[in-house]
Structure 1
Amino acid sequence: MAKSRYSEGSGPSQRQLRVGELIRRTLADVLNRGDIHDPDLNRMSITVGEVRTSPDLKIATAFVLPLGGGNRDEAIALLARNKSELRRAVGRELTLKYTPDLRFRIDETFDRMDETRALLERDEVRRDLDAGDDPEDGGPA
């Protein structure tokens, strides 16, 4: 069976990356300016970390995080409630054949970075890392 170039393991195309970044910038600008007619959403400061698009560019998933990391569920609910207005704003700014359907997810990148940092600070991990630096143990000189 022939594999699709979009099958598991292959990364996004250059076009997907480019369109995702354009959508990310547009969403960030719209949210920053408070262009949406929802005072609850405009009161919230939301970071748009990444936007991933489907291979056909019809679905865009925005990974977002409210300032401070709190009120995550509320942020997702507000973005979902204003999805059509945000989609119209993206459509006005970008010249795409189809304006993608927007989906919103919490950006967990910062949480993973904190977990990694905490792991590297553990005594047993530091001991193992420090042992690898000893030239007599076969580590780097």
Structure 2
Amino acid sequence: MAKNKFNDGPGPSQRQLRVGEVIRRSLSEVLARGDIHDPELNRLSITVGEVTTSPDLRIATAYVLPLGGNGSEDTLKLLARNKGELQRMIGKKVGLKYTPDLRFQLDETFDRLDETRRLFSQDNVRRDIEPDTDTPDEP
């Protein structure tokens, strides 16, 4: 059984989801504006697909992907190098009592989506999921 990005429990609470989304929007805005004092990071276009938070809201994991998917490892290193500045900016925007510790991981959602499309395009799979047109409709 595959693990999800969240804990093994019943899933994230509404508060976790809400805080994660606020952090995602704030982080996306900071990265899009180029507010960071690192010219290397400001040159990149980075998509923040999702932010998940721990149940106590102390850790926030941002799932990111550079535009085009090239230079993923370098992007993670640049984000980690600027983590302190990003956390301070997010803290000011979000207004939580404690700013979560930001962590960055590659967003593999698009890769899984491409693989799913590839699987659905196979003849033997399409044959199983498409309606059978050889049999007449029942009355």
TM norm. shorter chain > 0.5: yes
**2:132 matched residue in structure 1:** 133
How many percent identity over aligned positions? 64
Mapping 1:1-141, distance limit 5 Å: 8-130=8-130, 132-134=131-133, 136=135
Backbone CA RMSD of aligned residues: 2.2
Query: For residues 35 and 7 of structure 1, do their structure 2 counterparts lie closer, same or farther at Cα, with a shift above 3 Å needed?
Result: closer
Q: Deviations over 1:69-124 (max 9, x none)?
A: 11100010000000000000001111101000000000011110000000000111
Is 1:12–1:55's contact at 8 Å kept on the other side of the alignment? yes
Cα displacement (A) at 1:136: 4.1
**Structure 2 vs 1, CA of residues 44 and 12 (structure 1 numbering), >3 Å: closer, same or farther?**
same
Distance in 1, matches of 2:13 and 2:134, equals 43
The TM-score, its normalising length taken from structure 2, stands at 0.89
TM-score, normalized by length of structure 1?
Answer: 0.88
Q: Which runs of 5+ in 1 are unaligned?
A: 1-5
**How many matched pairs?**
134
Q: Which runs of 5+ in 2 are unaligned?
A: 1-5
